[in-house]
Each structure stands twice: as C-alpha cells, then as structure tokens.
C-alpha cells in the first residue's frame, strides 16, 4: 500500500470518527444505510460515505461523555 493511500484511509477514518453512530433509541448504528446517513450528516458526500462502508464497519461508538471524550472503533 502506498503512503498516499495509507494517509487517505487514515484521514477518512479520522473524519468518520466525528459522526454520531448512536440512534435515537441509544442503539449502535451498524446497518450500511444508517451508517451512510450518519456520515453524510457529518459532511461526507454520498459517494464518499458509500465507499467508506464498503471497506469499514462500525464496531462500537461512545458518544460525547461529560468529559468531552468520544470514540469510534472501525473494523
């Protein structure tokens, strides 16, 4: 893998980590269409979000805590 490809993937993951992957009921969003919606709400283009879910899946997500910490794990 070229370093440019690696940097692009790392940048996409970093940007995707800002999306909220918890639905209104407090459940983790894992369905591709719902993940795409969460990514596009965070300013991904539809094509970029669709490409992202073809390579990555959401494993876990912790929304902003009282300390301001949040995290997302992708596989």
Partners of residue 74 on adjacent β-strands:
58
Q: What is the pTM of this model?
A: 0.88
Pair of tokens at residue 9 = 């993937």
Count CB-CB contacts under 10 A for residue 15.
15
Task: Read off the pLDDT of each residue in 8-18 and give the average, rounded to a whole number.
Answer: 93
How far apart CA 43 and CA 47 sit, in angstroms, is 11
Partners of residue 62 on adjacent β-strands:
71
Cα 48 to chain centroid, rounded: 11
Residues 16-67 have pLDDT tens digits of 999 999 999 999 999 999 999 999 999 999 999 999 999 999 999 998 889 9
Q: Count the residues in the chain.
A: 75
Q: What is the pLDDT of residue 32?
A: 97
């Amino acid at each position: 893998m070229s370093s440019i490809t690696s940097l692009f993937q790392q940048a996409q993951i970093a940007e995707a980590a800002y999306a909220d992957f918890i639905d209104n009921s407090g459940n983790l969003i894992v369905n591709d269409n719902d993940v795409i919606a969460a990514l596009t709400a965070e300013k991904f283009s539809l094509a970029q979000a669709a490409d992202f879910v073809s390579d990555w899946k959401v494993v876990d997500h912790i929304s902003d805590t009282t300390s301001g910490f949040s995290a997302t794990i992708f596989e």
